[in-house]
Structure 1
Amino acid sequence: MENEVCSQAEEALSAPARQEEKKKRFGGGKNPFKGGKKKKWLLIALAVVVLAAAVLRGCGGKSAAPQTTYTEEQAAYRAISQVLSGSGTLAPANSYTVTTLLQGEILTAGFEEGDTVEKDTVLYEIDSSDSSTNVEKAELSLNQAQRSYESALESKYLTAKTSGTVSGLQVSVGDQVSAGQTLATIRDSSTLSLKVHFPADDAAGFYVGQGATVTLDGSFETLSGFISAISGSDEVLTGNRIVRQVTIQVANGGALTSTQSATASVNGVGSSDSGTLQYKSESVLTAPSSGEVAAINVSEGGYASKGQTVLTLGGDTIDNQVQSASENVRNAEISLENTQNQMDDYTITSPIAGTIVDKQYKAGDKVESGKTLCTIYDLSYLEMTLNIDELDISLVEVGQKVQITADAVEGRSYEGVITKVSVAGTTTGGTTSYPVTIRIDETDGLLPGMNVDAEIIVAAADNALAIPGGAVERGNKVLITTSSPSAADALADTAPEGYVYVQVETGISDDDYIEILSGLKEGDTVAYIPAQAQYSDIYSMMMGGPMVTTSEAGGPPDGGGPGGGPGGGPQG
């Protein structure tokens, strides 16, 4: 058991070195440790190493004296691109699953998978014979509800059946009335008519509009009028007199009433009998149901046009009837609308323009409600989502170009553009990432569902003075040889023999190199300890052995240096 624990501890100590070696062998890839993440990873690695070293000491491990070598490289001008990268899955610009809310037999389905359709193209027609009957029933129900509502309104708002003057008003506001009670009379007395008989032979020669003279009984006053109607059939009066009825209209100066009798003559021919003058029109308003007079809309002696409200009745019974009738009309309207909408649902159209990628039903099939009929993709462009770390999201903005590659399409890259940077992040393991939407317009060879890699160039310098990223230590210090041109600006910090520290200002960086804005010159030779060598130094210290540092250029041992002694330390 003890041997197994010791073996696992040795493997833990050597793992970082093996990982670094693997990175070199397989091309490295993108450095996932940026900024704060890198520090966290180093602290975790150091903790693992310390724990493993302690275990090894307990296992009787022997100390060794490894030699950590400096790697030297001259500062030189090169192109640097700061790139954010990731992978994702392509999705169509828009997609739609066509379903049905109805059931029935599919009558037509005139399209196939792979077809391109426009928006509102008819895809399916489902048998709607049952629904047509339901629409007719809903229309009948609405008509009945409307008639009931109109009848309820007539019980509340009493209107004039003819135009005329209101007379004989028998109620006041607030009076209680009962069904059938006479409330008022509306009379048009501007003209009166007289119906009398003339000999048939004479009447046959009369015509409508012909002048006539009316003589009032009692006063023998004569009035001028005209024939407004002539009967087309003969009548027989007492004494076998054959006559025809003639209607004569006269103007009312205001004194004539419907109780006045009179005779008439036309072209010297007198009427065979007398008749009673009649008003042009007269109607009586009666209460259709019990209630209370809520308002008098036309007062006594006022003129009311046909259809105008003369009296308004109120009361709980009448008001409830009107309200109930109104609600019944609205319910019937909603029912009809729903039924008509269902008719529209029997014809299913394409909600978007796109390509049919899946067809589940064909003509003749029976379909149930809620079933998926087909799927449509809008392939006018493709989209993907790239999750960007919280440390890098500030570098990303809408409109940036993105380089897209796919394993399924070898030897070709595509250009995308960022269309959306979401502020709704997702936190996992203490790290938050934000989804960024990328649009690809040129999609030849690409299909939805393909896995692709994306690179966003957030900064670039075509001719930057650069050194390896590992050469920049905490506090932006760089170790250079004493023969370097910039050694004249050396800091007072203690450095290994043959080297000095200088202060630098950094710019953009990629996976391997970092831009130097100031502090170094072309030709300066920088020195640094590769990551693998740093792991060996830590191993040596934890095992209790001496730390010996030598330069690849043959420098002597030293107790300091990058990542280890005075003035040094891991890059932060």
Structure 2
Amino acid sequence: MNMSKIKSKKKLAVILIIISALAIFGFIQFRRANQQNILETQINQVEYTVEKGSIKKSITGSGSVKSSDSRTILSEMEGIIEEIYVEEGQEVNKDEILALYEIESDTSEELNLETQKFNLLKSQNNLKELYEKQNDLETYSEFSGVVTLLVEEGDEVSQNMKIGELKETGVINFQSYFTKNQIETMDIGDEADVFINSSLVTLKGEITQIDKTPVPTGSNSIGYLVEGKINYDGTLEKGSDIKVSVSTDSAYFTSPYTGEILANSIIELKSPYMGEVKNINVKNGEKVDEGQLILNIKSDELEMEIAQQQLNVEKNRLELENLTEENSTVTSPIKGTILTVSTDEQGYIEKGKQLFQIADLENMEVVISVDELDILNVSKGQEVYIESDVFEGESFKGKVKSISLEGSNQSGVTTYDVTVSLEDRKQLMSGMNVDVEILIEEKEDTLIIPIESVTKVGNKYVVSTKDSEGNLKSTPIEVGITTDNYIEVLSGLKEGDIIYYSTEAGAEIPGGVMMPGMGLGGGQGQGRNPDGGSKE
């Protein structure tokens, strides 16, 4: 009896163990299937049509614009500064006298000294005027507009000869009177709503000028003239009646007067000096942007006058130095712009005290850090594109000036300084932050596919296509330019072919069509831009 009970208990225990094992096995299988379902729902299957586009490989960085040559001028002796010949913002030439120390002399010597100071200052001013004329030989657009030229490259021009005209476009100017209370709260740049009476349309504009001179407007009232502009590609008839409302920081009000549309500006382009039209950088009738170079003139006569005047300045400088004691003059070590004047006339200074800060603002540069993995792709003279948030939509050009041979290591990452010189800084100022792009390689009208669609097998690259029966197969391809998002196909595919790949759920897939159940692996992907834009 006892043996029978023991055998029954053993049999029951075995049955329970078997049931528990089956339950555990079933749970594991269920969990695996559930995880597989979750994984599958997290993957998008993509069908992608191969098309042509543009691809660009570049190295980017950021930095601050600075002068290529900046000098601090210190006092080489102690004493009193008798005269200062420059002011902040003034352009000076190399070896130009900036200041003079006080020296002891008799009446005759002092008279000769003052005469020679005058001669030097006069010759320096004459040279400065010639430099300004030389700068004016490059004709820039004062505003956005259409340029009409009356000359061609190689034409001889005389001084003040009309060589073309520039007509303002893309903007409509307007004016209206406002009351005294209204202009007191108004600032240049305030937003304006301009209602066009003839078309019953309101256009957005901004205030550009406020004249606080009272003007009688009739009926014993006084008005104050305000001008503004509307960025608009269309045209409106000059003199059209308008009503202007202005939005300020504290109020919104409408002028009680009827305003009018003004005529767009038209300016004549004239040759500042006699010479030859060297280069024309725009086409006749072409639209140009503000600050764009239109043409430049070469004048041999002006260059000869400048050379002669430089000799005059040097002669007067040497004669002045001969009349003064050794080291009694302070001269500029470079051609540049005076940034700071740190002393006053008749002020006592000690040896080593800072007198002036001068910088060459015409030759600006920016330094960026380039990763060690990219530095071998950078070479001196490479083309560079530069952008600044200050001048939105405007691009500046430059070239790689130098590459540091010594790297800097931080947190295990080594970078090298690359100095980029600006070819035309336009209105960029020292200290402004810029984004720099060094162009490594670029192609247009070439086959491009998303980088996620390509798999490397050994030394070969393959993509997934389908055979005539609809089965997936691996197709080898030859690749060219590779960027973070796209890869160029040199052979193995043609325009219109369809490839298949996978990407994570939620990823953007421009140009791709999601397909179910292809069972492909893959990472995040992006399809080709529908407009065929650049791939970077």
TM-score under structure 1 normalisation?
Answer: 0.43
Structure index of larger Rg: 1
TM-score for both structures, normalised by structure 2? 0.46
